[in-house]
Amino acid sequence: MPAAAILFSEEQIQSRVADLGRAIARDYAGRSPVLVTMLKGAVVFLADLFRAIDLPVRVDFMSISSYGSDSEASGGVVRILKDLDQDIGGEDVIVVEDIIDTGLTISYLLATLRARQPASLEVCALLDKTVRRILPVEIKYRGFECPDRFVVGYGLDHEERYRNLPLIVAVDDQTALTDDPDLLAPLLAARNAEKVEKTGERTPS
Ligand code: 5GP
């Protein structure tokens, strides 16, 4: 039985990230925005995104964890495990997220950041699972619409695996992956979309 299907290839991601970088550079011309990045999932996206922004951007990192098993169970209330190093008061802030699902986590986070009185506050998310949204979120810079599937790769993990996959795959059978977290290891061995595509769009289980 197949385990995962390619959702976004490395080329598609790189091209979209370049578009987002250009859009941000255009909108923030003459300014120096702070890219507030959520650890750990968004770091791969950040690494490509901020090199595509032709401005003196700054970066800062935040690490949060949901109370309870997931954001839905916790109602989006998060605990800050690592706060920003810099004061964002008066700064142009762009929150860089890997994926927005129910919108609960980002909504809580935006309220927290807004209370620090930045000059402006926007969201840049690589993936947007609109179909799962509970709280509305205004995403100014959006990479791709994401289907209601569990995805890994390009920073997104399952039990800390697959963040270093340069493409994004949708998992066909989440139960099988839960039973065997290394199920998609052949994808890591292939390391790039072309090699994966040569062996077919789907990986053997
Ligand atoms: P939200 O509060 O919007 O429901 O939660 C967003 C967070 O859920 C993301 O930052 C990510 O950690 C996690 N998440 C949601 N969907 C997926 C998915 O398909 N794959 C992975 N790896 N994480 C996901």
Q: Is residue 98 part of a domain?
A: yes
Q: Is residue 193 part of a domain?
A: no
Q: Is residue 133 part of a domain?
A: yes
- Our answer on whether the CB atom of 150 is closer than 6 Å to any ligand 1 atom is yes
Q: Is residue 57 part of a domain?
A: yes
Which CATH number fits the domain that encloses residue 119?
3.40.50.2020
Alpha-carbon distance of 117 to 125, in angstroms, equals: 21
> Could you tell me the distance, in angstroms and rounded to a whole number, from the CA of residue 41 to the centre of ligand 1?
9
How does pLDDT run across 44-53, given as a tens digit for each residue? 999 999 999 9
Q: Is residue 67 part of a domain?
A: yes
CA distances from 69 to 57, 73, 88, 177, 205 (A): 34, 6, 30, 18, 28
> If pLDDT is split at 50, 70 and 90, which confidence band does 65 have?
confident
Which domain, by its residues, includes 107? Answer: 11-148
Helix residue ranges, H only, the chain: 10-27, 43-51, 71-74, 104-114, 174-179, 185-190, 193-198
How does pLDDT run across 2-25, given as a tens digit for each residue? 589 999 999 999 999 999 999 999
* Total of domains in the chain: 1
> Could you tell me the distance, in angstroms and rounded to a whole number, from the CA of residue 109 to the centre of ligand 1?
14
Q: Is residue 164 part of a domain?
A: no
Q: Is residue 180 part of a domain?
A: no
Q: Is residue 186 part of a domain?
A: no
List active site positions: 101
- Our answer on whether the CB atom of 33 is closer than 6 Å to any ligand 1 atom is no
> Could you tell me the distance, in angstroms and rounded to a whole number, from the CA of residue 71 to the centre of ligand 1?
8
